[in-house]
Structures are given as C-alpha cells and as structure tokens.
C-alpha cells in the first residue's frame, strides 16, 4: 500500500530537536558574534543531512529539515515578509505558556504586506529537496498567525486598522507564497493555523470578545484566508495544516474540543491534510471528525505525544483508531505525532532517542493499521 506521492499514512508535523552543534553554532553567531553566517549555515546544512537520513531510515516518505535554521516555528517566516518585522523588547514578558514563557520577541506590521521573491525559506526548501530521496515538505505558519499573533497596537500600517483590509492582503500575500514555493519545486506545503484550535478554548474565546472580536467570526475569516491563499494551487500540490494548543518546552496554552471550528476547518479551508492534536483530554473527543467530507481529504490524529518521553502502546493506538473510525472512514486517516518536537529552538523536554522512537512508532502504527506508510 506504500505510495510514492503524498498523502502518506505516516507523517510528522515538521520540527525536530536541534542537535548540540546547531545550538552551539547559533549561540556563537547570534550571541557571541564569533562565527560567520557561512559557518553557521555549514553547521545547519550538516545537521539537515543527518536528520533527513534519520527520517528516511525510519521509513518516512515525507521529510523536513527539522526547522534547523529557525528560532521559532512561525516568527522566522513572518519576519521575512515584506511589511512585517520582529522586535525583541528587553524587560517585557514573552508569550505565556503553562509554567513557561518564550523570549520577548514580537511581530509588528510596519508596512504593506507582501511575500518577497527572496524569502529565505525558499532557499531552505531548495536545500532540503537537494539532500533527500523522498518527498521534501516544508512547514510555514498559516495566514491566521499574522493576525492572531500581532497585537492590535503593533499593527502600525494605517490601512490595516481595517481588519478586513488586513485579511485581504494576508490572503494575497500567502497566495503568492504558495506560488513561489511551487516554483521552487515544492509539492507538499504545510501551512499551520493553530489558532483554529486556540479559538475553541472558552478562555481565549472570552479574551477575543473582550477585544471586540467575535471568535466564531474570526474562525470563519481565518478559514476564508486559508481558502483564498491556496485555491489556485496546481493540482499536483498538496496543502497540509497543523492545529494544536501550544508547544514550548513540553508546555501548552489552550484547551478545548475542536467542535466550534470543525466545520470551518474541514469544509471552508480547502486544505487536503489535517494534522490534529489528540494526545490528551485537552483536545476533547473525536466527534468533530464526523464533519470530514467523504473523498480524498485526510486527517492525521496526533495520538502520539511529542511532549513526553514515554512511548505510547501500539495496542492503545489501534484502539484509538477504532474509535476514530466511528466518525471518519479509516481510509481517510493516517498517523502523526500531535505536534513538532521543537516548535522553538529550545525544544521539548525529551531526548533525540525519544524523538526517534516516537517517529519509529508512527511508521510501525501505519504499517500495522494500513499495511504501509
């Protein structure tokens, strides 16, 4: 049942733990200023070759560069957009997770948005494609990130005080990004819009109402942006989308079942493959999967956690898929971990060996349930 083109039964979200040489090189370049950009790139290149080999040897048919060149899963991409910048603000507190906070880096919109022809991640993809024998996949933040993660006071371009104008320009910017990645050879692009899941959290829904935004309206507009961004993609380009509730040093932000957003996710975005966090009770039940339309769309329920080292039981995973198949056709399901292993360069509280065993379990589960990856 193994297929050479996506979608695959076994996959993963994208980020991988940064090995020590990468962490050391980044510290020397960004903090000590003691090595050159070329020296940093050489270390990253070597690490990418290693993680690609690891993924291929495990049996995965889609591989990523592990986001070795990034500090954050989203901000690095956003900071490369025309009109958007990243500001590090000493003395301010970064984004809060349960028991941890990230560095005080904040995206701001200073001008009209666009996707530049020389966005660094185009070259990131090209390098990945040059060192793999299977399908290269790159994960970027979806358009909702450029709204949800930018404070209202940090939207400085006057035209974007009208949020509908901002959404229209985000859709246009991302449509260009999709086109440019295709031209670079990308046939499997993942655009992660985790804020669909955030907007299912009762507390976050109240926060948005306090800002004067209806959370259900936001869900609908976020779906519209994604749909507009990808609707003109060529037929041989697949779009994946990951949705989780936060991932930083094994901590989290949001909780709540997918119910408020499920219809928009499955029926309004136009996405092909859905990576959905389902490793804890925070994700709610599997009932929202009933809204997945019949056909070629695929859901990858994240029953395997990247936050803890303990390895899930294959028998337990089989039972969970038995439950999932009550709501969605088993043929429209696959398996992936619930999130990346290193959404920021700090990484989750697990080891590289733990990470490898988790990915091996992904492949083993796919082989056990569907007969191949």
189-220 pLDDT tens trace: 999 998 899 899 999 999 999 999 999 999 99
- Judged against a pLDDT cut of 80, whether residue 278 lies above it is answered with yes
Q: Confirm whether 229 is domain-assigned.
A: yes
Q: What pLDDT is recorded for position 251?
A: 63
Q: What pLDDT is recorded for position 198?
A: 87
Q: What pLDDT is recorded for position 90?
A: 76
pLDDT digits (tens, 9 = 90+) for 3-25: 478 999 999 999 999 999 999 99
Q: What pLDDT is recorded for position 349?
A: 87
Q: Confirm whether 10 is domain-assigned.
A: no
Q: Residue 279 — pLDDT band, cuts 50, 70, 90? A: confident
The strand ranges marked E within the chain are 62-63, 82-88, 96-97, 100-101, 105-114, 135-136, 138-141, 188-192, 238-243, 273-277, 298-302
Q: What pLDDT is recorded for position 29?
A: 94
Q: Confirm whether 9 is domain-assigned.
A: no
Q: Confirm whether 121 is domain-assigned.
A: yes
Q: What pLDDT is recorded for position 133?
A: 95
- Judged against a pLDDT cut of 90, whether residue 281 lies above it is answered with no
Q: At 273, give phi and psi (nearest 5°).
A: -130, 130
Separation of alpha carbons 115 and 127, rounded Å: 20
Tell me the β-bridge partners of 155: 109
Q: What pLDDT is recorded for position 1?
A: 38
Q: What pLDDT is recorded for position 2?
A: 42
- Judged against a pLDDT cut of 50, whether residue 185 lies above it is answered with yes
Tokens of 351: 């080891």
Whose CA is closest to 142, among 264, 18, 251, 255?
264
Q: What is the chain's mean pLDDT, rounded? A: 93
Which 3 state secondary structure label does DSSP give 352? helix
Q: Confirm whether 128 is domain-assigned.
A: yes
Among the listed ranges 99-103, 107-111, 340-344, which one has the minimum average pLDDT value? Answer: 99-103
Domain extent at residue 168: 20-370
Q: How many domains does the chain have?
A: 1
Q: At 372, give phi and psi (nearest 5°).
A: 170, 175
Total residue length of the chain: 373
Q: Residue 282 — pLDDT band, cuts 50, 70, 90? A: confident
Q: What pLDDT is recorded for position 226?
A: 98
Q: What pLDDT is recorded for position 345?
A: 87
| Residues with Cβ within 8 Å of residue 222, at least 6 apart in sequence | 142, 143, 144, 147, 148, 193, 195, 196, 199, 264
Number of neighbouring beta carbons within 10 Å of residue 232:
9
Separation of alpha carbons 207 and 214, rounded Å: 10
Whose CA is closest to 192, among 363, 281, 72?
72
Q: What is the CATH number of the domain that holds 74?
A: 3.20.20.210
110 preceded by a cis bond (ω within 30 of 0) = no
Where is pLDDT greater, at 82 or 95? 82
Separation of alpha carbons 339 and 75, rounded Å: 17
Q: Confirm whether 118 is domain-assigned.
A: yes
Determine if residue 250 is left, alpha or beta; phi over 0 gives left, psi from -120 to 50 gives alpha, anything else beta.
left
Q: Confirm whether 271 is domain-assigned.
A: yes
| Residues with Cβ within 8 Å of residue 248, at least 6 apart in sequence | 95, 97, 100, 102, 343, 344, 346
Average pLDDT over residues 102-124: 93
Where is pLDDT greater, at 248 or 326? 326
Q: Confirm whether 14 is domain-assigned.
A: no
| Residues with Cβ within 8 Å of residue 243, at least 6 apart in sequence | 192, 193, 194, 196, 197, 258, 265, 274, 275, 276, 277
| Residues with Cβ within 8 Å of residue 38, at least 6 apart in sequence | none
Separation of alpha carbons 152 and 32, rounded Å: 34
Q: SS3 helix, strand, coil % of the chain, rounded to 5?
A: 45, 15, 40
Whose CA is closest to 115, among 74, 144, 75, 81?
81
């Amino acid at each position: 049942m193994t297929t050479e083109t996506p979608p695959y039964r076994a996959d993963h979200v994208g980020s991988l733990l940064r090995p020590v040489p990468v962490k050391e090189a980044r510290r020397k370049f960004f903090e000590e200023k003691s090595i050159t950009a070329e020296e940093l790139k050489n270390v990253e290149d070597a690490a990418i070759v290693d993680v690609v080999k690891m993924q291929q040897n495990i049996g995965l048919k889609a591989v990523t560069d592990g986001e070795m060149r990034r500090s954050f899963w989203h901000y690095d991409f956003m900071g490369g957009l025309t009109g958007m910048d990243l500001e590090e603000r000493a003395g301010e507190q970064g984004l809060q997770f349960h028991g941890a906070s990230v560095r005080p880096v904040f995206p701001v919109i200073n001008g009209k948005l666009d996707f530049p022809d020389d966005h660094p991640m185009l070259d990131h993809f090209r390098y990945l494609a040059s060192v793999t024998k299977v399908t290269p996949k790159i994960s970027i933040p979806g358009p909702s990130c450029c709204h949800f993660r930018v404070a209202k006071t940090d939207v400085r371009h006057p035209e974007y005080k009208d949020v509908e104008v901002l959404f229209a320009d985000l859709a246009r910017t991302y449509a260009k990004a999709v086109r440019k990645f295709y031209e670079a050879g990308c046939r499997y692009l993942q655009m992660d819009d985790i804020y669909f899941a955030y907007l299912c959290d009762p507390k976050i829904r109240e926060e948005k109402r306090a800002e004067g935004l209806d959370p259900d309206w936001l869900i609908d507009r976020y779906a519209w942006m994604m749909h507009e961004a990808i609707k003109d993609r060529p037929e041989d380009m697949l779009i994946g989308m990951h949705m989780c509730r936060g991932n930083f040093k094994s901590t989290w932000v949001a909780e709540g079942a997918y119910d408020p957003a499920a219809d928009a996710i499955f029926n309004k975005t136009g996405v092909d493959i859905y990576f959905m966090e389902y490793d804890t009770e925070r994700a709610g039940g599997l009932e929202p999967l009933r809204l997945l339309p019949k056909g070629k769309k695929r859901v990858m329920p994240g029953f395997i956690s990247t936050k803890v080292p303990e390895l899930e039981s294959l028998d337990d995973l089989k039972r969970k898929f038995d439950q999932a198949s009550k709501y969605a056709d088993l043929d429209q399901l696959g398996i992936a971990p619930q999130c990346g292993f290193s959404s920021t360069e700090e990484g989750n509280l697990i080891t590289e060996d733990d990470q490898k065993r988790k990915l091996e379990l992904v492949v083993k589960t796919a082989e056990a349930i569907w007969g191949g990856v």
